[in-house]
């Protein structure tokens, strides 16, 4: 069942000397180092010495997306939807945008779910269950459909109408329940029905053991496109993306292909920011209150330890960005022809807050503008179809007629 994968086992982030076999994937973190107040995630270990020499050479294989990197990923049991392989678009002054809206369900989450739903296939689960109102839920539903597994999505009621249609599109059973009921119900679906959880079940975030491995491929792709950048700025909710991208670069260094890893900048909404709180307070992970924000995709109360590892090991930083800063970054990208979700623009917002970085910088844009709260709520007014009326409208937009 491992195919090309060189995965050998699981290793605790709480204590790296604590290891587990590869199966079953630990969906509630590391049982030996976690406590009632703090849960430590695990990561996947590989037989790095058996990595194919030409894995990072251009044109070595016809395989695209995640399949190209199968040796350094957990076993990929679900057939590909063509996830990964997203473009790196130059936006000026040495800044590149990694456009993750170009995935099968138009967000970065597809890289995680290819791995996490493959784990569900690996343990012969009855189905998968996920708590999410947006990108993660839709992506899990898509890969469950691809795998021929049932999927239950515990959604909270507040998702935008277009996103509701999106989550509903892949044949999952979507159950809108109050926000705080999502986790207890997920636990019951896991325990009673034998469904495999692909989102978090623990007191601080651990999530899925295999999922964040999928995000390593973002680092591999950046490396094959432009080498190692000076810094990577990205939206951060639970820190799985942050950890995965950092780990990918750390592996490249371990394999002797890179000299260093980029500084990792976590960009959280100022309304919450559990990772920034953990950094500030010197904690392994933190839980914070969350105020009002439109960046619903990354507005998390509960943080996890993965993000802290990435920041500490890379010399990075946890930045807080306001909704206004994210909206300004979103507008900056629109003026370059790219429409991102508000949350998705947090990486560029973080870079603008931080100021110029010496050397190439990558901002990860996680998702498409179609997922925003405001979608469909406004549009331009109709105009009378005469040249007079049209030219008045054009002039008011600054076009001389």
List binders of a second copy among 323-382 (CB under 8 A): 334-339, 368-370, 372, 374-382
The yes or no reply on residue 215 touching a second copy (CB under 8 A) is no
* The binder of a second copy chosen from 15, 37, 124, 193 (CB under 8 A): 193
Minimum distance from CB of 337 to a second copy (Å)? 4
Nearest CB to a second copy, comparing residues 169 and 283: 169
Query: Residue 397 interacts with a second copy (CB under 8 A)?
Result: yes
Nearer to a second copy, 180 or 358 (CB): 180
For the chain, what is the HEC assignment? CCCCCCEEEEEECCCCCCEEECCCCCCCCCCCCCCCCCCCCEEEEECHHHCCCCCCCCCCCCCCHHHHHHHHCCCCCCCCCCCCCCCEEEEECCEEEEEHHHCCCCECHHHHHHHHHHHHHHCCCCEEEEECCCHHHHHHHHHHHHHCCEEEEEECCCCCHHHHHHHHCCCCEEEECCHHHHHHHHHHHHHHHCCEECCCCCCCECCCCCHHHHHHHHHHHHHHHHCCCCEEEEECCCCHHHHHHHHHHHHHHHCCCCCCCCEEEEEEECCCCHHHHHHHHCCCCCECCCCCCCCHHHCCCECEHHHHHHHHHHCCEEEEECHHHHHHHHHHHHCCCCCECCHHHHHHHHHHHHCCCCCCEEEEECEEHHHCCCCCCCCCCCCCCCHHHHHHHHHHCCCCC
By CB under 8 A, what part of segment 72-91 binds a second copy?
A: 79-82, 85-90
Residue number, 36 or 399, with CB nearest to a second copy = 399
The answer to whether 94 contacts a second copy (rule: CB under 8 A) is no
Smallest distance, a second copy to C-beta of residue 107, A? 12
**257 touches a second copy by CB under 8 A:** no
Task: Using CB under 8 A, pick the residue from 21, 256, 292, 385 that binds a second copy.
Answer: 385
Does position 169 interact with a second copy (CB under 8 A)? The reply is yes
Note whether 401 binds a second copy by CB under 8 A.
yes
* 290 vs 375 by CB, closer to a second copy: 375
């Amino acid at each position: 069942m491992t195919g090309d994968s060189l995965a050998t086992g699981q290793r605790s982030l709480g204590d790296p000397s604590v290891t587990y076999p590869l199966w079953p994937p630990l969906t509630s973190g590391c049982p030996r180092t976690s406590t009632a107040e703090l849960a430590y995630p695990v990561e996947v270990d590989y037989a790095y010495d058996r990595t194919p020499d030409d894995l990072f050479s251009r044109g070595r294989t016809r395989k695209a997306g995640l399949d190209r990197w199968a040796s350094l990923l957990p076993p990929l049991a679900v057939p590909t939807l063509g996830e990964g392989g997203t473009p790196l678009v130059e936006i000026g002054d040495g800044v590149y945008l990694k456009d993750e809206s170009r995935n099968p369900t138009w967000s970065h989450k597809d890289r995680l779910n290819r791995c996490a739903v493959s784990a569900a296939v690996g343990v012969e689960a009855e189905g998968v269950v996920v708590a999410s109102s947006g990108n993660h839920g839709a992506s899990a539903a898509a890969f469950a459909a691809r795998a021929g597994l049932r999927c239950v999505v515990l959604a909270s009621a507040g998702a935008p109408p277009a996103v509701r249609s999106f989550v509903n599109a892949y044949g999952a059973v979507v159950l809108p329940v109050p926000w705080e009921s999502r986790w207890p119900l997920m636990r019951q679906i896991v325990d009673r029905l034998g469904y495999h959880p692909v989102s978090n079940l623990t007191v601080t975030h651990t999530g899925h053991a295999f999922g964040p491995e999928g995000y390593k491929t973002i680092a591999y792709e950046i490396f094959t496109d432009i080498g190692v950048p000076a810094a990577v700025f990205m939206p951060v909710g639970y820190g799985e993306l942050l950890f995965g991208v950092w780990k990918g670069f750390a592996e490249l260094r371990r394999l002797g292909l890179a000299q260093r890893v980029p500084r990792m900048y976590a960009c959280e909404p100022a309304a919450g920011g559990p990772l920034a709180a953990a950094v500030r307070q010197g904690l392994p992970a933190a839980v914070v209150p969350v105020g009002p924000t439109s960046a619903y995709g990354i507005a998390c109360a509960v943080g996890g330890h993965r993000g802290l590892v990435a920041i500490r090991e890379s010399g990075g930083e946890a930045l807080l960005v306001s909704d206004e800063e994210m909206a300004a970054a979103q507008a900056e990208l629109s003026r370059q022809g790219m429409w991102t979700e508000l949350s998705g623009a947090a990486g560029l917002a973080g870079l603008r807050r931080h100021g110029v970085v010496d050397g190439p910088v990558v901002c990860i844009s996680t998702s498409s503008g179609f997922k925003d709260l405001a979608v469909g709520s406004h549009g331009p007014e109709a105009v009378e179809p005469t040249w007079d009326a049209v030219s008045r409208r054009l002039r008011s937009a600054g076009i001389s007629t």
